């Protein structure tokens, strides 16, 4: 249902873009990106609900941009000024309008000098 692309390793201050192809993208309550650092709980990074409300975690505001590409059935996460603490496995997520949810397979993002 959800297929992720992107990720990798960059030094601090670098940029990466993650993408996620979502089959049936129009059927959603919310779309979002989550991440999980080693030993930590999974946390929401950015999300968009079906009323058009876009929100970001405080730790990424001004650095990350959630970009829906409905015509391509994709969502993007453009990440700039990356920090060591942004390291983790990133997941795209959909809460469907039928109450179910889907997760991408996860993509490793490593910020290291």
Q: What is the pLDDT of residue 5?
A: 96
Q: What is the pLDDT of residue 71?
A: 82
User: Strand 8-10 vs strand 107-111: parallel, antiparallel, or unpaired?
Assistant: parallel
Neighbours of 11 (CB within 10 A): 10
φ/ψ of 81, rounded to 5, equals 50, 50
Alpha carbon 44 to its chain centroid, in Å, reads 8
Q: Tell me the average confidence (pLDDT) per consecutive run of 10 residues in the chain, 113 residues long.
A: 95 98 87 96 96 96 95 94 98 93 97 95
Q: What is the pLDDT of residue 64?
A: 98
Contact, 3 vs 105, CB < 8 A?
yes
């Amino acid at each position: 249902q959800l297929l992720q692309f992107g990720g990798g390793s960059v030094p601090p201050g670098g940029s990466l873009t993650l993408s996620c192809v979502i089959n049936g993208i129009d059927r959603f309550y919310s779309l979002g990106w989550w991440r999980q650092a080693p030993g930590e709980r999974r946390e929401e990074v950015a999300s968009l609900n079906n009323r058009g409300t876009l929100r970001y975690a405080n730790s990424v505001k001004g650095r990350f941009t959630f970009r829906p590409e409905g015509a391509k059935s994709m969502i993007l996460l453009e990440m700039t000024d990356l920090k060591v603490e942004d390291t983790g496995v990133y997941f795209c997520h959909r809460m469907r309008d039928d109450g179910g949810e889907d997760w991408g397979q996860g993509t490793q993002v490593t910020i290291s000098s």
